Amino acid sequence: MNPKLILLTLASIALVVSPVFANKKEDAAREAQLQQTLDNMRREVEALKKIKADKLDQIEALETKRWEERYRQNQAITDHQEAVRALEGRYSKASTDLGRLNDQLVQEKNATEEIKIKATEAKESINEIAMQVQQVVDKAATDLTSDYPIGLEIRNLDFSQAREALNGKNPQIAKSLSLFFDAFASRYELTLSQELDARKSQIGNRPEVSVNRLRLGTVFLAEAAREGREAQALQRTGALQGRVFEWRADLSDAFSKELQQAITGASRKGNVVWVPLDVLQNKNVQATTRKNVELTLKEKVQDLIRSGGPIMYPLLLLGLIALLFSLDRWLTFVFRGRISDRLIERVHGLTKENKFAEAQLLVSKNRSSLGKVFTAILNHTQESHRGNAEKSVRQVLLHEQPLLERRMGLLGAFGTAAPLLGLLGTVGGMISLFTVLTDVGTNDAKLLAGGIAEALVCTETGLVIAIPVLLLHGWLTEKLDVITSSLAFQSIALLNQIWPEAEEGKEG
């Protein structure tokens, strides 16, 4: 039992007992009651002791359980600490391994980046080489149009396969170069070979002619009919653009005979023949081998357009449109802008006699600008003032002025643009000439002069168109000024004649 509870109980008893002893008489009555109370309190103390014993047993059981729980916790902590130490060891080892792996990863990344950079540089170098090779192949393929037209199919096929080898993600440069050099090797082999064979060909306008063809390298190629005296030769055209070679059957009799003799003699084995060979393929030499045929006007125009190049078409179109515009303006000035002295005299004569109705009927039949101006004035003759008539005249003049001036600006622009278009064609021709000279080179001053002459055809044509167009524009402009001035003068003269008092008032 708790000592404090016992003391509290005794103190309570003392407090109760002390008044009893103080007052014996009064305590006697209460002694029995106190005894009973004391017995009750003893029983309560016994009950409390029992409760205390039970509580102590419970406390002991709880303490035992608590120690057992603490033991288990200590065991768990021990196990946990051992697990933590094991995990720390594994973590330390993993950290060491991770650091080592990170170092290896950084090294591998650096090595990979270096390899990527080298691979990118190598790929860029390969692409650059492939691009350069492709440019060379494309240039060679483009030059085929001006090359000797024999064996073009094989060379064109080689260049096409060379371009295909360079396409895709992995260009085959070695294969492309091999095909490229094969094409040039076949071209070089062609220059060193000779060929004589029989075939079907077209001479002039005759197809399927049995001929003997003789080729000596790339400087001579001719065909002679096996039956008849017809012959043709492959010659340079001398053109800077378009067809560089063409078959010519319009040969002179002497040259055609020489070709037939050479080819016929070559077909007989063991014979040595003379071949009429133009090694330089000179344009002037070729002119002496052809028949002197007078060209028609249409052929001359076609030859002029061909020599001038594509700029000749817009030049000729511009000249034709300028001519049509000039004719249109001239017809407009003749019919619409005509200033008829006879009409002016008759109108002034009728207005002096105050025959305004007859004058109005007369001018209404005239469709020119002057007739419309007079009509605008005569419509207001019944009015005392000429203000409305002046307004009508200004309105008619503002309407007629654009109709008379229409297309004059375009005509002047055409006259200015023609020499510029010609200069553009000349510049393009000079670029083509020097491109050809850069590619193939030449020591022939006549070819250079001939190319420059052909290039200047556009400028000449532009000037030929521009000079008359500008002269026509100036003449038409002057005529337009005369017409507009005359319209203004005649309108004022008629106004002053019909309303003279208004003019006198202004002078006064």
Q: What pLDDT, in 10s, does the model give residues 489-503?
A: 888 888 888 888 644
Tokens 């003379």 sit on residue:
274
The pLDDT of residue 499 is 84
Q: How far is CA 469 from CA 167, 301, 328, 466, 473, in A?
A: 54, 20, 13, 5, 6
The pLDDT of residue 339 is 84
pLDDT, tens only, 289-321: 665 555 566 767 777 777 777 888 888 899 999
Q: Are 338 and 367 within one domain?
A: yes
The pLDDT of residue 143 is 76
Q: Are 477 and 443 within one domain?
A: yes
Across the range 350-375, mean pLDDT stands at 84
pLDDT, tens only, 121-143: 888 888 888 888 888 888 888 77
Q: Are 362 and 429 within one domain?
A: yes
The pLDDT of residue 287 is 56
In this predicted structure, the answer to whether residue 451 has a pLDDT above a threshold of 80 is no
Distance CA 136, CA 1 (A): 119
Other C-beta atoms closer than 10 Å to the C-beta of 253 total: 9
Q: Are 388 and 498 within one domain?
A: yes
Across the range 417-424, mean pLDDT stands at 89
H or E element in which residue 3 lies: helix 3-22
The pLDDT of residue 170 is 80
Least confident segment among 43-52, 237-246, 321-330: 237-246
Kindly compute the dihedral angle of the four CA atoms of residues 55, 59, 61, 65, in this order, to the nearest 10 degrees.
Answer: 150
Domain count, the chain: 4
Supply the DSSP symbol for 290.
Answer: B
Across the range 270-283, mean pLDDT stands at 65
Tokens 């030449």 sit on residue:
442
Tokens 């000592």 sit on residue:
3
Reference 350, options 378, 389, 391; nearest CA is 378
Angle of the 369-378 helix axis to the 341-352 helix axis, nearest 10:
10
The pLDDT of residue 474 is 92
In this predicted structure, the answer to whether residue 416 has a pLDDT above a threshold of 80 is yes
Distance CA 434, CA 439 (A): 8
The answer to whether 20 and 56 are in contact (CB under 8 A) is no
pLDDT, tens only, 189-204: 888 888 888 888 888 7
The pLDDT of residue 504 is 39
Long-range pairs for 215-218: beta carbons < 8 A, 24 or more residues apart: 215/150, 216/275, 216/277, 217/190, 217/191, 217/192, 217/193, 218/148, 218/150, 218/190, 218/191
Q: Are 378 and 450 within one domain?
A: yes
The pLDDT of residue 321 is 93
What confidence tier does 469 reach under pLDDT thresholds 50, 70, 90?
A: very high
Last residue of a domain, one of 227, 258, 293: 293
Residue 104's DSSP bridge partners are: none
Across the range 39-52, mean pLDDT stands at 85
Per-chain mean pLDDT for the chain: 80
The answer to whether 480 and 401 are in contact (CB under 8 A) is no
Residue 196's DSSP bridge partners are: 214
Within-domain flag for 122: yes
Q: Are 178 and 200 within one domain?
A: no
Which pTM value belongs to this model? Answer: 0.50
Within-domain flag for 306: no
pLDDT, tens only, 72-98: 888 888 888 888 888 888 888 888 888
What is the extent of the structural domain holding 71? 3-126
Within-domain flag for 298: no
Region for residue 42 given its phi and psi (left: phi exceeds 0; alpha: psi -120 to 50; beta: otherwise)? alpha
Last residue of a domain, one of 293, 321, 354: 293
In this predicted structure, the answer to whether residue 467 has a pLDDT above a threshold of 90 is yes
